[in-house]
Amino acid sequence: MKRLIMPVAAALILSSIALARSQAPASGQAAPTSGAAAATATLRADRPGPVVNRNVYGHFAEHLGRGIYEGIWVGPSSPIPNTRGIRHDVLAALKQLNVPVLRWPGGCFADEYHWKDGIGPREKRPSMINTHWGGVVEDNSFGTHEFMDLVEQLGTDAYITGNVGSGTPQEMMEWVEYLTSDAVSPMANLRRQNGREQPWRVPYFGLGNEPWGCGGNMRPEYYADEYRKYNTFIKNYDRAKPIYRIAGGANDFNYAWTEVLMERVGRRMNAASLHYYTLPTGNWNRKGSATQFGEDQWFSTLSRTLRMDELITKHAAIMDKADPEKRIGLAIDEWGTWYDVEPGTQPGFLYQQSTMRDALVAALNFHIFHRHASRVVMTNIAQTINVLQAMILTDKEKMLRTPTYWVYEMFKVHQGGTFLPVDLQSPDYAFGAERIPAVSASATRSADGKAVHLSLTNATPGQTIPITVTLAGIAPASASARLLTAPAMQAHNTFAAPDTVKPVPFEGLRLAAGTLTLTLPAKSVVVVELR
């Protein structure tokens, strides 16, 4: 997690035109607005690209606020239904997303976490102070065994971030042995003593988090040397499935960091991380409200999130110089929106609501990640539950799915699909002197080859947009779609009204003569399936 102050970007010129709001009917059929600018596109199924790594749809759960405790973990004695302390409702909701990989235990927390404090009988585990997030007591009741139990119950892969900032190479080496070794050895025997006979599979391991900041305030040259040292002691106990090592990469626009990593670490890493958060204001001291905003911050949020494309392009260009074969991946293992915390909540817990604006942010970023599928191997939104741009919010026994959750649910059809280029001509969405594309699109062919999925967004908050898509290299017999939209930009789900923003069938499709036509409702996300 990031704890830096960034410069305020140039202020947007406010529009004097009042926002006209529109709402799609419950059926998902939207009537075109008179005079609406149209978009056109060609879906190039005849020019397939790389596979979209399913790990692009990864998640992140840090020991932060109510992300772990109350969110995932309630303990075996809780009246909230659970299996060995893990909430049933949350687990069931996450299973719907086909979560491919889950990052833990941090974030900034990772570099003050000592794993041996989180094993053995819970009543004997020592407590610590979570110095980064609220200064609260961390009792270590959720540790290695609990996390790996969660991973197994969820049917996902583990991505563990090791402690480089305040830990030692020996500590990290022993953790990897504890987790993955089936030998008769001190750490493997300790695992057995604590109730786990067989080793776990840990496919992904991160060597520190944000070493340029909360992970040690290191220079890139220093971190590169630390990486090389720590990496030496991460052993592959299963040589047939070596651990995929992820280096602590750059803070958004710090391209020099990537240059040093590529030069001094190179193939010793399998991937380098990249962190980028979207703030409406660009000001870390006053980021903006999650729910109380006008079109100025709607537009600035979408505009700023689109800079993810610039970031990936420039970092990838640096990587390409040293690694033209693209053997080293880019793992964007922290991304999403970051607002001022909800009024009345603990500032260090980073609890915020998720609106229709966040749904657009998620969809736009996925389209960017798809375009860079040859280099982007994983992303992990911050975070899964009750923290920042969460999938799920909980309040004691209550749980709700956010608009961001529904984008993940709609877009899971892209996981592992083959990228298909979409040549798009979009009208502009103008606000004052600024402009961004009004429409975004991305397409993939499913791994089984039976379907093509086309996802579309309309960023404008009050304008429907007709679009005609020419289908090249595909002649589908049927088309169906789902729609996510809402009557207001600020629309969000609450515990009193948990289904305010939820997908509905979209009936406004016409498939004929090799073309697909539809009208995108204002502020909408649409996923089309062609068979």
Q: Are residues 179 and 248 in the same domain?
A: yes
Is 90 inside a domain boundary?
yes
Q: Are residues 63 and 190 in the same domain?
A: yes
End residue of a domain, out of 394, 415, 436:
415
How many other CB atoms sit within 10 Å of the CB of residue 33?
A: 18
Q: Are residues 437 and 379 in the same domain?
A: no
CA geometry: angle at 379 spanning 150 and 132, to 5°? Answer: 70
Task: Enter the tokens of residue 432.
Answer: 């004052």
Terminus-to-terminus CA distance in the chain, angstroms?
A: 41
Q: 244-251 and 204-207 as β-strands: parallel, antiparallel, unpaired?
A: parallel
- pLDDT at position 1 is 53
Q: Are residues 233 and 85 in the same domain?
A: yes
Residue pointed to by tokens 């392009």: 313
Q: Are residues 222 and 262 in the same domain?
A: yes
Q: Are residues 229 and 132 in the same domain?
A: yes
DSSP codes of every residue in 242-267:
--EEEEEEEETT-HHHHHHHHHHTGG
Q: Is 410 helix (H, G, I), strand (E, B) or coil?
A: helix
Give Cβ neighbours of residue 81 (< 8 Å, ≥ 6 apart).
87, 88, 89
**For residue 64, which of 3, 153, 125 has the smallest C-alpha distance?**
3
- pLDDT at position 19 is 31
Q: Are residues 430 and 399 in the same domain?
A: no
Q: Are residues 454 and 388 in the same domain?
A: no
- pLDDT at position 5 is 34
Give Cβ neighbours of residue 210 (< 8 Å, ≥ 6 apart).
1, 2, 108, 248, 251, 275
End residue of a domain, out of 379, 395, 415:
415
Q: Is 143 helix (H, G, I), strand (E, B) or coil?
A: coil
Give the Cα separation of 323 and 345 in Å (integer). 46
Distances (CA, A) of 190 to 115, 119, 158, 249: 13, 10, 20, 33
- pLDDT at position 36 is 61
Is 490 inside a domain boundary?
yes
- pLDDT at position 33 is 41
**For residue 353, which of 513, 172, 493, 498 has the smallest C-alpha distance?**
493
Query: HEC profile for 166-234?
Result: CCCHHHHHHHHHHHHCCCCCHHHHHHHHCCCCCCCCCCEEEECCCCCCCCCCCCHHHHHHHHHHHHHCC
Sign (positive/negative) of CA torsion 414, 415, 420, 422? positive
Q: What is the largest CA-CA distance in the chain?
A: 74
End residue of a domain, out of 395, 415, 435:
415
CA geometry: angle at 526 spanning 468 and 445, to 5°? Answer: 80
Judge whether 253 and 311 are in contact, CB under 8 Å: yes
Q: What is the pLDDT along the chain (531 residues), one digit of tens a residue?
A: 544 433 333 333 333 333 333 333 333 433 334 346 999 999 999 999 999 999 999 999 999 999 999 999 999 999 999 999 999 999 999 999 999 999 999 999 999 999 999 999 999 999 999 999 999 999 999 999 999 999 999 999 999 999 999 999 999 999 999 999 999 999 999 999 999 999 999 999 999 999 999 999 999 999 999 999 999 999 999 999 999 999 999 999 999 999 999 999 999 999 999 999 999 999 999 999 999 999 999 999 999 999 999 999 999 999 999 999 999 999 999 999 999 999 999 999 999 999 999 999 999 999 999 999 999 999 999 999 999 999 999 999 999 999 999 999 999 999 999 999 999 999 999 999 999 999 999 999 999 999 999 999 999 999 999 999 999 999 999 999 999 999 999 999 999 999 999 999 999 899 998 999 999 999 999 999 999
DSSP codes of every residue in 275-328:
EEEE-SSS-TTS---SSS--HHHHHHHHHHHTHHHHHHHHHHHHHHHH-TT--S
Q: Are residues 390 and 432 in the same domain?
A: no
Q: How many structural domains are present in the chain?
A: 2
Using CB atoms within 10 Å of the CB of residue 319, give its burial: 0 to 12 exposed, 13 to 18 middle, 19+ buried.
buried
Catalytic residue IDs:
210, 334
Is 60 inside a domain boundary?
yes
Is 382 inside a domain boundary?
yes
Is 183 inside a domain boundary?
yes
Q: List the CATH number of the domain containing 491.
A: 2.60.40.1180
Q: Are residues 399 and 435 in the same domain?
A: no
> What are the tens digits of pLDDT across the range 143-176?
999 999 999 999 999 999 999 999 999 999 999 9
Is 17 inside a domain boundary?
no
Is 474 inside a domain boundary?
yes
Q: 329-337 and 376-382 as β-strands: parallel, antiparallel, unpaired?
A: parallel
Range of the domain at 446: 39-48+420-530
How many other CB atoms sit within 10 Å of the CB of residue 407?
A: 27
* pTM to 2 decimal places: 0.93
